[in-house]
A and B are shown apart, each in its own frame.
Chain A
Amino acid sequence: MAVIEVRNLHKRYGETVAVDDVSFSVERGEIFGILGPNGAGKTTTVECIEGLRSPDGGTVRVLGFEPREDQLRQLVGAQLQESALPEKLEVREALELYASFYRNPADPDALLAELGMTGHQHKPYKKLSGGQKQRLSIALALIGNPEIAVLDELTTGLDPQARRDTWDLVEAIRDRGVTVVLVTHFMAEAERLCDRIAVIDSGRVVAVDTPGGLVDRVSADTTLRFRPSAPFDDHLLTDLPEVREVRRHNSQVTVTGSGNLLHAVAAVLARHQIVAADLRVEQASLDDAFVALTGRAFDN
């Protein structure tokens, strides 16, 4: 069942078209990614979902409501890009304050524990690290026990460790049964977390698919690279139905093909007592998919 329906969304600021024509639907319980380079219209799209902006065209329905309807505020938790708290407000005070806004809030203590913030509950906002601030903003997005959480550029500005920790948290949110809309311009983040992704470029949706599906659209090819322990004839491999091409460069062999390429090649080599040293398997990535879908490199 779709919890968010966006149809032909259009939004401009003066002469600038921020969102040209965006349509997608988000299913209950999934992590739905909105992926695109900076300035693609991702944030404007989710701000229309959150009711912070009114569309100039198209329709948006969230849990059956118009985004601006008051009831929806109880059901959608938001984490906004670039929004802060008063500097001297302490972590726990912020959570208790936001809890008072909702009819059926989560228990601040349980949420603090779940996000690993119990030890920082009396720290003022300005003393928190980047990762801690993001944890707190996730906690505030969840304090109202929402059905949908919208997270905008959650990991921008975090170091790699904090980013990975945050990814675990997002998966934990989904495991609570909350539908997550995740805005990101990080390929790796979208690939790792999202069940489905809408790729947005210049205000338009270029594709909506699973990460695997997006990659398959570009090419189902797999590439193997290895150094054989003994010489062998290329025909050993090119005779296999899975193999399309074999190339050699110095001592390295590069095999391109599709299907269960690795298994087929490994089996043949083993039969001939050839060991494949330094074996690497390469598949098309989401980056390649983006280049193929938009005709240009993904560039932040």
Chain B
Amino acid sequence: MSALAKLTAVELKLNAREFVGPLITIVLPTALLVVFGMIPASRQPSADLGGQRAIDTTIPSMAVTITLAMAAFFMLPGVLGTYREKGILRRMRTTPVSPKALLTAQVITQLLTALASIVLVFLVGGLALDMGAPQHIAGFALSMVLGLGALYALGLVVAAVASSARAATGLSMVFFFPSMFFAGLYLPKEAMPHVLSKIGDVTPLGAFRQSVQDSWVGGGPQALTLLALAGWLVVLAAVATRAFRWE
């Protein structure tokens, strides 16, 4: 087996042994979907949502993106911070395999976990809550790729800048709560002042949530939010690559 395949297999196994964190990532979006989707009003057309139902718009986009943001902001920097602190990355530098392979294996593991959580949302939402499927499959896929890329790049920046796993968690908090606000998770975007709502559209999590929501119904993701995500992905990945330290 190639080193990367072996590393990924081992990371998946370690991830499964951690159990609680990955389980939350997989189950939480579905739990949020069920809690909010059980409210009968969620399944009625709403004037605030331009005649759409919350179960087809705000609820799934919120459930999916908030969970992926938690994984990207907290789990990825936490694991990498621990690997660096314990000299695991450093030890790998003395082998023929670059620690970059470990980084890649870790991201693949997180993405597979994310994929499992999304599949569960579709199954439970579609079968039990009358949730519609995204109308714009290509737009949805593109939103997912760019959005996950941008969020994970931000997680890597945190992992690169923070001196320890503990510091990484603190720094992630600083990004996480404003991200939640601008993504409209405290105050619905429709109720926000126009300026804040527009700013929210170009923050990584805000753009991600909006483009996922627009893929579910309506005209598909807007160019602005997709461009914002692509921009964040490129900039944050460049920063992470420059700032990352192996030890």
Contacts and interface: CB of A to CB of B under 8 A. Distances in A.
A101 to B, nearest CB: 4
A220 interface: no
Interface in B85-101: 86-88, 90-91, 93-97
Contact of B95 (A82, A86, A93, A101): A101
B94 A52 contact: yes
B90 A89 contact: no
Contacts of A93: 10, 13
Given A83-B87, A85-B88, A97 B10 contact: yes
Given A97-B10, A100-B2, A84 B96 contact: no
Given A52-B90, A73-B95, A100-B6, 16 more contacts: A52-B94, A70-B96, A73-B94, A80-B87, A80-B91, A80-B94, A86-B14, A86-B86, A88-B17, A88-B18, A89-B10, A100-B1, A101-B3, A101-B95, A101-B97, A144-B95
B22 to A, nearest CB: 13
B36 interface: no
Contact of A83 (B7, B14, B88): B88
A89 B96 CA distance: 20
Interface string A44-57: 00000011100000
A186 interface: no
B83 interface: yes
Contacts of A82: 87
B87 A84 contact: yes
B51 to A, nearest CB: 51
Interface of B: 1-3, 6-7, 10, 13-14, 17-18, 83, 86-88, 90-91, 93-97
Residue of B90, B91, B93 contacting most chain A CB atoms (<10 Å): B91
A74 interface: yes
B95 A83 contact: no
A74 to B, nearest CB: 5
Which secondary structure dominates where chain A touches chain B? loop
Contacts of B86: 83-86
B88 A86 contact: yes
B18 A98 contact: no
Q: What's the interface size class on A, roughly?
A: 20 to 34
A30 B193 CA distance: 75
Interface string A130-159: 000000000010001000000000000000
A100 B3 contact: yes
Interface of A: 50-52, 70, 73-74, 76-78, 80, 82-86, 88-89, 93, 96-98, 100-103, 140, 144
A101 B1 CA distance: 10
A52 B3 contact: no
B6 A97 contact: yes
A102 B90 contact: no
Given A52-B90, A93-B13, A86 B83 contact: yes
B95 A52 contact: no
B12 to A, nearest CB: 12
A48 to B, nearest CB: 13
Given A83-B88, A100-B3, A50 B97 contact: no
B238 to A, nearest CB: 24
A121 to B, nearest CB: 15
Ranked nearest first, the 6 interchain pairs of A and B with the lowest CB-CB distance are: A83-B87, A78-B94, A100-B6, A84-B86, A73-B96, A83-B91
B96 A74 contact: yes
A149 to B, nearest CB: 11
B93 A52 contact: yes
Given A82-B87, A83-B88, A88 B14 contact: yes
Contacts of B94: 50-52, 73, 76-78, 80
A52 B91 CA distance: 10
Contacts of B93: 51-52
Residue of B17, B86, B88, B96 contacting most chain A CB atoms (<10 Å): B96
B160 to A, nearest CB: 19
Nearest to A84: B86
Contacts of A140: 91
Contacts of B1: 100
